Amino acid sequence: MDNNIEIKVLENKRAIAYPVGRLDVAVSAELEDQLVKAVEENSIESLVLNMENVEYMSSSGFRVAIALLRKLSDKGGALKICALKPAVKRIFDVIELTSLFEIFETEEEALASFN
């Protein structure tokens, strides 16, 4: 799955992750490993999860996002989510996770919210 996520490390212990495709049980464990490794190796405290290229997210994908949110929160940081496709946003709404995550329309808005 190495090609299904790109992680761009920024200044001030920030990064943007760009997952692609379906975030389901087939990829969630590896996705979590890659994200946690990037967070730890780069001392990331604040992460934007840009979901513009994610077409589906199962409970396994949500588990990864929640685990990442907890890890970053424990470091005093934050996880922001942006660019949700309507189908994925509906899943967030149905399982009532929109209140758990800070969700933004654009990457720029998500990044600006760290200031």
- pLDDT, tens digit, for every residue of 101-114? 999 999 999 999 99
Q: Please state the pTM of the whole predicted model.
A: 0.92
Q: What are phi and psi of 23, to 5 degrees?
A: -100, 90
pLDDT at 3: 53
CA dist., res. 7 & res. 13, Å (int): 13
| CATH number attached to the domain at 2-104 | 3.30.750.24
What does each of the 115 residues of the chain score in pLDDT, given as a tens digit?
445 899 999 999 999 999 999 999 999 999 999 999 999 999 999 999 999 999 999 999 999 999 999 999 999 999 999 999 999 999 888 887 778 899 999 999 999 999 7
Q: Whose CA is closest to 107, among 36, 6, 2?
A: 6
- Give the SS3 label for residue 7: strand
Q: Is 57 left (phi over 0), alpha (psi -120 to 50) or beta?
A: beta
